[in-house]
Structure 1
Amino acid sequence: MKILVGSKNPVKIESVREAFSYYFDSLDVSGLEVDSKVSAQPINHETFTGAKNRADELFLRAKEDNLSIDYFVGIEGGIIEEHDQWFALGCICIRNNKGETSFGTSALFPLPSIIVTELLNGKELGHVIDEIANDENTKQKGGAIGYLTNGIINRKELYKQGIISALVTFLHPKLYSK
């Protein structure tokens, strides 16, 4: 089974590989950098749009290049406001080679106001966490969730649950048929 991920980020690629491996054998997972066509730090529903744009772009490129790919996965990290609290999450859009689409999300986790202020002023969450943690490229490691949970949950594990959630419509197509 061939799966294309809309990113070269190794955390995203490995989260897709691990999530799909629960259900499928002989996986060939690779990443291709595509534009999400949303802001660098997506806010609210823009996060879903970014994930969908990534999956759609992969689907179109595969069609144009006549590539045989089974699934196209767009992953977009973003923030969302609910009940006067800001949360971070990962949105996942999976498209199959028939063009059918499904969405899933990771768990939400609350962000402190000191981080939210920076994000609303145009900074990316990964860069803010890099500064706070005095580290580099945390988004290709444990991510914000890794820092905030003291390493108990990492970005890969967070994304895996969103990917598995997005897969449910493909695992049970009769239940989700229109």
Structure 2
Amino acid sequence: MKIIVGSKNPVKIEAAREVFSIYFDNPEVESYNAPSGVNAQPVGDETFRGAFNRAFHLFSLFNDKSGKADFYVGIEGGITKLYDKWFAFGCMCILDSKKRDSYGLSPFFELPDSITQKLLDGVELGTVMDELTKRENTKQKEGAIGFFTRGVMNRKELYVEGLKTAIIPFLHEELFFQNK
């Protein structure tokens, strides 16, 4: 079984490897940079488009070639407003070799107004967190969730939960893909 992840970020790659290993024996996971086609800091539905665009880019590159995979994974971090509060979350899109798509979401976590305003001005959450924590490249390590939970949860764990939900339709194809 071959899975291609649309990012070189080790957090996203390892999250995909962990989840696919739960359901399939010895999945081969590869990664390629895939453009999201959305703003650096996606807002709302733009996050879904970014995840889909990453997965579809890989599908377009590899599906009709010898590098064909069983699944193509796009992961995009974004923010959205719910119940008059701003939350960060991850959106996961999985495409299979038949171009059937599925989505999952990570847990949502609330953001303070001071950070949200910077994000709405177009600054990426990873950059804001690097400034706040005075560390480098937090998005390839514990991420914002690691800071806010004081290390109880990290970015990979956040994405693992979203990927577990994104894979559901492929575990129950007869329920989700009857007409596809």
Question: Under TM normalisation by the shorter chain, which class is it?
Answer: over 0.9
Equivalent residue letter for 1:164: K
Runs of 4+ in 1 over 6 A off after TM superposition: none
Q: Does 1:42 align with 2:25?
A: no
Offset, 1:27: 1.2
Are 2:130 and 1:130 aligned?
yes
Name the structure 2 match of 1:3: 3
Aligned to 1:155: 155
What amino acid is aligned across from residue 80 of structure 1 in structure 2?
A: T
2 CA distance for matches of 1:138 and 1:129? Answer: 7
Q: Who is 1:28 aligned against?
A: 28
Partner of 2:91: 91
Tell me the equivalent position of 1:75.
75
One-letter identity of the residue aligned with 1:46: E
Q: Which amino acid aligns with 1:110?
A: E
One-letter identity of the residue aligned with 2:116: V
Cα-to-partner distance string for 1:85-120 (whole Å, 9 max, x where unaligned): 000000000001111110000010000001001111
Whether 2:118 is the aligned partner of 1:118: answer yes
Runs of 5+ consecutive residues of structure 1 not aligned to the other structure? none
Q: Which amino acid aligns with 1:173?
A: E
Give SS of 1:42's match. coil
The residue number in structure 1 matching 2:16 is 16
In structure 2, what residue type is equivalent to 1:126? G
Whole-angstrom distance in 2 between the partners of 1:65 and 1:37 = 23
Tell me the CA shift for residue 67 of structure 1: 1.9
Give, as a single letter, the amino acid of the residue that structure 2 aligns with 1:144: A
- Deviation track 1:114-133 (CA, whole Å, cap 9, x = no partner) reads 10011111110000001111
- What amino acid does structure 2 have at the position aligned with 1:55? A
Q: Which residue of 1 aligns with 2:143?
A: 143
**Alignment TM-score, normalising by the size of structure 2:** 0.96
Stretches of structure 2 that go unaligned for 5 or more consecutive residues are: none
TM-score, length basis structure 1: 0.97
Matching residue's letter, 1:13: I
CA distance in 1, matches of 2:119, 2:78: 10
Residue-by-residue CA offset, 1:12-38 (whole Å, 9 max, x unaligned)? 000000011110111110110011000
How far apart are residue 83 of structure 1 and its match? 1.4
Amino acid at match of 2:158: L
Partner residue in 1 for 2:101: 101
Counterpart residue identity of residue 71, structure 2 = Y
Q: Aligned with 1:151: secondary structure? A: coil
